[in-house]
Structure 1
Amino acid sequence: MAITEQLQTLGIQIPPVPQALAAYIPSKRSGNLVFTSGQLPLVAGKLTKTGKVGKGITLPEAQAEAKQCLLNALSTLLLHIESLDQVKSVVKLGVYVACDESFTEQHLVANGASELVVQIFGEKGKHARFAIGVSSLPLDACVELEMTVEVE
């Protein structure tokens, strides 16, 4: 099944590319690899949630925010390719979780994005990953995600 059809089946629309918040570009292609800048869970240019996971933001809420980060990252891929059908492999995800110091389930927050990317791309979506806790993120976001993707 084509990725565009899979997105329709899942009821997912790829959002417009979020504007950069500082001096960087949303993504960069080098050969057959595309590296995204860190993507926040922005929707129409705004965060729907702010704060820290484990202190005001629940695990399920943070997983949903990680999914939005992933969709924003996918949108930046389309600056370099015509269609997500050109994705050969999702190589790596990096997930940063702004969390309370006692929160230790960053890996489960990252699963929100990891599980979604596999739903979208199937075997091509299986990836290496890191998930780390940080004291804060830009705009008081609770999650930030970067990805590396191999494209045709």
Structure 2
Amino acid sequence: MSWSQRLAGLGIELPAVAAPVAAYVPAVRSGAHVYTSGQLPFVGGELAVTGKVGAEVSPEEAKRHARTCVLNALAAVDALAGLDAITRVVKLVGFVASAEGFTGQPAVINGASELLAEIFGEAGAHARSAVGVAELPLGAPVEIELIVEVE
């Protein structure tokens, strides 16, 4: 079964590639790897939510938005190299705009990691960083970068 078929079986449709908000491209291929730019929780071209996790945005809500971010990253990979060309997910970096004292960044980024496992199974097991930051672009609560290996 292809990854595209797997997504369809899960009832997931990749969004359109999010337009860059500055001077960069959504993804770059170098050899057998595709690196995505940081992806925000854009839905239909609009930022779905703003605020800091642990204040305006609950950790559970941020976890759902991390899923949106990783779907946006996969859309960028698909547009550049094709989703079905992915042989494995190599690394995920997650940034969480955190209210003072919030330390649940790993649980928030699990939203993205768990979705990759659902889609790719063992090929979705990846190295990861979950980083708390003071601010993210446009006031987003979460941002995801993805590195995948492709054929």
TM-score clears 0.5: yes
1:80-121 residue CA offsets vs partner (Å, 9 max, x unmatched)? 223x12101100000000010110010000000000001001
Query: Which blocks of at least 5 consecutive residues in structure 2 are unaligned?
Result: none
User: Could you state the TM-score of these two structures normalised by the residue count of structure 1?
Assistant: 0.97
Equivalence for 1:65: 65
Equivalence for 2:25: 25
Q: Distance in 1 between matches of 2:79 and 2:15?
A: 13
User: Could you state the TM-score of these two structures normalised by the residue count of structure 2?
Assistant: 0.97
Paired AA for residue 55 in structure 1: A
**What's the offset of the Cα at 1:79?**
2.6
**What's the offset of the Cα at 1:16?**
0.5
Q: Distance in 2 between matches of 1:138 and 1:45?
A: 15
Q: Distance in 1 between matches of 2:147 and 2:48?
A: 25
Q: Distance in 2 between matches of 1:130 and 1:141?
A: 18
Equivalence for 1:108: 107
Equivalence for 2:47: 47
Q: Distance in 2 between matches of 1:79 and 1:8?
A: 17
Identity %: 52
Secondary structure in structure 2 of the residue aligned to 1:29? strand
1:106-138 residue CA offsets vs partner (Å, 9 max, x unmatched)? 000000000000100111100000001000101
The aligned length equals: 151
Equivalence for 1:137: 136
Equivalence for 2:93: 94
Paired AA for residue 70 in structure 2: L
Q: Distance in 2 between matches of 1:27 and 1:81?
A: 9
Secondary structure in structure 1 of the residue aligned to 2:79? coil
Equivalence for 2:149: 150
Q: Distance in 1 between matches of 2:50 and 2:9?
A: 30
Query: Which blocks of at least 5 consecutive residues in structure 1 are unaligned?
Result: none
Q: Distance in 1 between matches of 2:12 and 2:147?
A: 21
Paired AA for residue 136 in structure 1: E
RMSD: 0.8
Q: Distance in 2 between matches of 1:48 and 1:144?
A: 12
Secondary structure in structure 1 of the residue aligned to 2:18? coil
Equivalence for 1:119: 118
**What's the offset of the Cα at 1:5?**
1.8
Equivalence for 2:15: 15
* Large movers: runs of 4+ above 3 Å: none
